[in-house]
Chain A
Amino acid sequence: MKWMHQDVQNYTKAKEYIDSAIMPLMPFSFEDDDELSKLAYQHEVMQIFMTQIEKQLKGRVFLLPVYNYLKQNKLEDEYERLETVVNHVNEQPFKHIFLFTFDKKWRKYSSKIDAELIWLPAPQQGDLNQVETQQLVQSQVSEIEDLIKEQWDE
């Protein structure tokens, strides 16, 4: 389910079946010109990951809006903000919350936060229109999918 009018209506009717929430954590910043394209590319790839996973597992997964934050912000402050979001989502109740990020800095919070924080290695920049890149992204999508399914079976 997506954060969209029609899907949200379906969600309220079938809450007991949709027990997992996924949310990407995406930094952005205009500080460094060289970094812009890298961050934008990561954002693009993450969006593909999320929409593909949502498409495959539509009936059990709720894709939350992207959690955006300024890259130069202190992560301690950001952690507090994220925690309120996660706690709020947890009240629904969702049994599983998966947070996806390419940002290494989040890793030290993975044990603290009341959600499954999944750090993915940042993708090498490539042309998303090329078949090879698409295949690579697709294979990663199925790995992430397996990871979620494993959590369900536990």
Chain B
Amino acid sequence: MSEKKNNQVSRRQFLNYTLTGVGGFMGAAVVAPMVGMAVDPLLQADGSDEFEYVMDVDEITTEPQRKTFYIDQQDGWYDTEAERTAWIYRDENGDILALSPICTHLGCVVDWETGDHDNEFFCPCHYGRYDKNGVNILVHHQKDHYMPMSIVLKTVDYI
């Protein structure tokens, strides 16, 4: 008799189970979206490896062209459109190159063939020079910390 009673659920236990069950479910319903929102930036796909349309392939010449484009920048919660530029051209082998215009010395914007600098990128700030492949040309009186331009912004691409 007593064994049989042990297997039965008492009224008090039944109420306990149902209340915690329903309560827990309601709690989860409230908390789940919050958790989702809290980790939201993590759930969204990382756009850093995606390609961005900049120009048509057949427009790309052997002469570097300066192109401006916009990428979506994710700054924690905020999505902003950031302006980027790149020098885009084909090298001798016909491969497409896109170079960042930022001088690796202190961050000025370099220009292609300004003044008497034929076939070179030239930095107006401290007269740094880069050849067509973005490799630094050392000038004797300069310190040797002019580095090659970083090759290819990750997001630069062509269609």
Partner-B contacts on A (CB < 8 A): 10, 14, 17-18, 55-61, 149, 152
Query: Is A17 a contact partner of B106 (Cβ separation < 8 A)?
Result: yes
Which A residue sits closest to B106, measured CB to CB?
A59
Q: How far is the CB of B70 from chain A (nearest CB, A)?
A: 14
Query: Is A58 a contact partner of B108 (Cβ separation < 8 A)?
Result: yes
Q: How far is the CA of A122 from the CA of B94 in the complex (A)?
A: 49
B103 is an interface residue with CB less than 8 A from chain A: yes
Which A residue sits closest to B126, measured CB to CB?
A17
Q: Which residues, 114 to 129 on B, are CB-close (under 8 Å) to A?
A: 123-126
Q: How far is the CB of A135 from chain B (nearest CB, A)?
A: 13
Query: Is B124 a contact partner of A17 (Cβ separation < 8 A)?
Result: no
Identify B124's interface contact among A10, A18, A55, A149, CB under 8 A.
A149
B27 is an interface residue with CB less than 8 A from chain A: no
18 further A-B contacts with Cβ under 8 Å, apart from A17-B125, A59-B103, A59-B123, are A17-B105, A17-B106, A18-B106, A55-B109, A56-B108, A57-B109, A57-B125, A58-B106, A58-B107, A58-B108, A58-B109, A59-B107, A59-B108, A60-B106, A60-B108, A60-B126, A149-B124, A152-B124
Contacts of B108 in A (CB 8 A): 56-60
Q: How far is the CA of A56 from the CA of B107 in the complex (A)?
A: 8
Contacts of B105 in A (CB 8 A): 17, 59
Contacts of A10 in B (CB 8 A): 106
Contacts of B106 in A (CB 8 A): 10, 14, 17-18, 58-60
Q: How far is the CA of A58 from the CA of B125 in the complex (A)?
A: 8
Q: How far is the CA of A10 from the CA of B106 in the complex (A)?
A: 9
Q: How far is the CB of B78 from chain A (nearest CB, A)?
A: 18
Count the B residues whose beta carbon is within 8 Å of the partner chain — how many?
10
Contacts of A149 in B (CB 8 A): 124
Q: Indicate with 1 or 0, residue by residue over B112-151, a CB within 8 angstroms of chain A CB atoms.
A: 0000000000011110000000000000000000000000
Contacts of A60 in B (CB 8 A): 106, 108, 125-126
Contacts of B109 in A (CB 8 A): 55-58
Contacts of B126 in A (CB 8 A): 17, 59-60
Q: How far is the CA of A4 from the CA of B124 in the complex (A)?
A: 23
Which B residue sits closest to A18, measured CB to CB?
B106
Q: How far is the CB of B110 from chain A (nearest CB, A)?
A: 10
Q: How far is the CA of A58 from the CA of B123 in the complex (A)?
A: 11
Q: How far is the CA of A43 from the CA of B125 in the complex (A)?
A: 27
Give me 20 A-to-B residue pairs in the complex whose CB atoms sit less than 8 angstroms apart, sorted by A's number: A10-B106, A17-B106, A17-B125, A17-B126, A55-B109, A57-B108, A57-B124, A57-B125, A58-B106, A58-B107, A58-B108, A58-B109, A58-B125, A59-B125, A59-B126, A60-B106, A60-B108, A60-B125, A61-B125, A152-B124
Which A residue sits closest to B114, measured CB to CB?
A149
Contacts of B125 in A (CB 8 A): 17, 57-61
